[in-house]
């Protein structure tokens, strides 16, 4: 091009997600099946280009078949209580009511732009504990402001209302990403801690699970450590020992054919 242009990294894929059974796509919540970017476990710490399409084709099919098998095995069709329906509708329509009392109404577009800038500046590819904590403090502020969010207009074709609903999920995911990034004191794949630049074998064996409480409109998030199941020996043998040596300990590779033949 004749003119200069700005180029920079941006988030385009979330590698974490809902924990599912690899064969059926079933989540821990009965009746919930997930595949693709919303599910976790397929790509590890960094997705290779093009792999998401294979992921969708293979695990999308498994999730579809798993869901069909689940429904066929039911003796009766589960029903949702009217109380749950009313609660969901009230939460979705809350932006039309606006803030209670004399609180200042919040605009969804303004709040979205601020959250986007915060995550880009403070929880980007390269981050530090101080930056992540600053982002978490700002997210708490945004969560408080979200309670006063207001949508103008009517329900049909109202993108402002849609964004107001989406903001709840964006705040949840942003908090999960930031808290997990703060807890993981190492660098690995798409996660780079400038204050912890090296990989840690113990962290490779550790997953971080984000869970939401039941309160609303935006639940509190907790992050807990869970043990990463070890790779099956037959799968481990598919990789060259030189490549595995970058990530695994000598003890873990002791039975690998490449190590046994040395």
Q: Is the pLDDT score of 51 beyond 80?
A: yes
Q: Are 259 and 241 in contact (CB under 8 A)?
A: yes
Strand partners, 206: 227
Residue that wins the pLDDT comparison between 3 and 260: 3
Q: What secondary structure letter does DSSP report for 105?
A: P
The verdict on 193 and 100 lying in the same domain is yes
Confidence of residue 65 (pLDDT cuts 50, 70, 90): very high
Average pLDDT over residues 125-134: 96
Task: Assess whether 50 and 71 both reside in one domain.
Answer: yes
Of the candidates 78, 94, 124, which is a domain's last residue?
Answer: 78
Among 50, 78, 106, residue at a domain's last position: 78
In a domain, 257, yes or no: no
Residue 170 is part of a domain; what is its CATH number?
1.20.58.100
| One domain, residues 97 and 180 | yes
Output the furthest CA–CA distance in the chain (Å, rounded). 75
- On whether both 118 and 11 belong to a single domain, the answer is no
**Domain edge (last residue) among 153, 187, 204:** 204
Q: Among 171, 173, 165, 172, which Cα is nearest to 90's?
A: 165
Q: Which residues of 250-261 are buried (b: 16+ CB within 10 A; e: fewer)?
A: eebbeebeeeee
With both helix axes pointing from N to C terminus, report the angle between 159-183 and 82-97 in degrees, rounded to the nearest 10. 100
Count structural domains, the chain: 2
Q: What per-residue confidence (pLDDT) applies to 109?
A: 97
Q: Residue 262: its pLDDT value, please?
A: 64
What is the reported pLDDT for 108?
A: 97
Choice between 182 and 235, residue whose per-residue pLDDT is larger: 182
The answer to whether residues 64 and 85 belong to one domain is no
- Domain for residue 246, yes or no? no
Write down the pLDDT at residue 232.
Answer: 86
One domain for residues 35 and 106: no
In a domain, 16, yes or no: yes
Q: Which long-range contacts (CB under 8 A, 24 or more apart) does 12-19 make?
A: 13/37, 13/47, 13/52, 14/173, 14/177, 15/40, 15/43, 15/44, 15/45, 15/46, 15/47, 15/189, 15/190, 16/40, 16/176, 16/177, 16/180, 16/210, 17/41, 19/209
121: part of which helix (H) or strand (E)? helix 108-122
Query: Are 87 and 18 in the same domain?
Result: no
Domain span holding position 163: 81-204
């Amino acid at each position: 091009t004749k003119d200069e242009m700005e180029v920079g990294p941006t988030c385009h894929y979330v590698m974490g997600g809902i924990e599912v059974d690899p064969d059926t796509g079933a989540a821990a919540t009965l009746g919930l099946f997930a595949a693709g970017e919303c599910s976790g476990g397929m790509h590890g710490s960094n997705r290779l280009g093009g792999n998401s399409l294979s992921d969708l084709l293979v695990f999308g099919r498994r999730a579809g078949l798993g869901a069909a098998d689940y429904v066929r095995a039911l003796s009766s069709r589960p029903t949702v209580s009217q109380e749950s329906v009313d609660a969901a509708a009230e939460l979705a329509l809350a932006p039309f009511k606006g803030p209670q009392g004399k609180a200042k109404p919040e605009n969804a577009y303004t709040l979205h732009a601020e959250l986007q800038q915060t995550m880009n500046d403070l929880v980007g590819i390269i981050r530090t504990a101080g930056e992540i904590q600053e982002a978490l403090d700002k997210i708490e502020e945004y969560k408080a402001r979200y309670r006063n969010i207001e949508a103008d207009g009517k329900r049909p074709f109202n993108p402002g209302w849609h964004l107001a609903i989406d903001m709840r999920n964006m705040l949840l995911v942003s908090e999960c990403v930031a808290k997990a990034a703060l807890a993981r004191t190492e660098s690995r794949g798409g996660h780079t801690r400038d204050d912890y630049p090296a990989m840690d074998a113990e962290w490779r064996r550790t997953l971080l699970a984000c869970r939401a409480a039941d309160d609303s409109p935006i639940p509190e998030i907790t992050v807990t450590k869970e043990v990463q199941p070890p790779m099956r020996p037959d799968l481990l043998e598919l990789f060259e020992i030189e490549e595995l040596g970058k990530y695994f300990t000598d003890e873990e590779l002791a039975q690998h054919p490449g190590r046994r033949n040395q």
